[in-house]
């Protein structure tokens, strides 16, 4: 199954450090990892939220990656808003296991930059 995840600058840097194969561990205040099920929802978060968020570096990147179908079937789909806002809730303690079930690379498919972004645009 193909999934998406909107990320900011720092998380993208950490993904790149893994050779684009793993998402970084969650912070203590982040008990879940939230992959989203469709590009439109990921795009909305990256464009409308990350570009306005200092913690995201005022930039949003939409990543796409494939996860083993059998493994991903263990997680319930959650709708959080409209029916287009669908995501999985992966407990932080299972993120290594999730990363081990990524098939291939984590790819950036779209990039968005806010007015306050400072840096090189990719």
Q: What is the CATH architecture assignment of 2-113?
A: Alpha-Beta Barrel (3.20)
Cβ atoms within 10 Å, residue 54: 9
pLDDT over threshold 90, residue 122: no
Q: Which of 99, 120, 122 is nearest to 3 (CA)?
A: 99
What pLDDT digit, counting tens, does each position of 1-31 carry? 999 999 999 999 999 999 999 999 999 999 9
The domain spans of the chain are 2-113
Helix, strand, or coil (residue 40): helix
Q: What's the pTM?
A: 0.94
What pLDDT digit, counting tens, does each position of 75-110 carry? 999 998 888 899 999 999 999 999 999 999 999 999
CB 6 within 8 A of CB 48: no
What pLDDT digit, counting tens, does each position of 29-58 carry? 999 999 999 999 999 999 999 999 999 999
pLDDT of residue 83: 82
């Amino acid at each position: 199954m193909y999934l998406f995840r909107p990320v900011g600058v720092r998380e993208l840097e950490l993904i790149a450090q893994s050779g684009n194969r793993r998402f970084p561990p969650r912070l203590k205040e982040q008990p879940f990892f939230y992959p989203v099920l469709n590009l439109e929802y990921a795009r909305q978060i990256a464009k409308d939220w990350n570009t306005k968020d200092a913690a995201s570096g005022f930039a949003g990147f939409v990543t796409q990656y494939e996860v083993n179908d059998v493994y991903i079937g263990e997680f319930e789909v959650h709708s959080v808003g409209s029916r287009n806002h669908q995501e999985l809730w992966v407990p932080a303690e299972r993120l290594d296991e999730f990363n081990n079930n990524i098939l291939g690379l984590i790819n950036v498919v779209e990039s968005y930059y806010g007015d306050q972004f400072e840096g090189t645009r990719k």
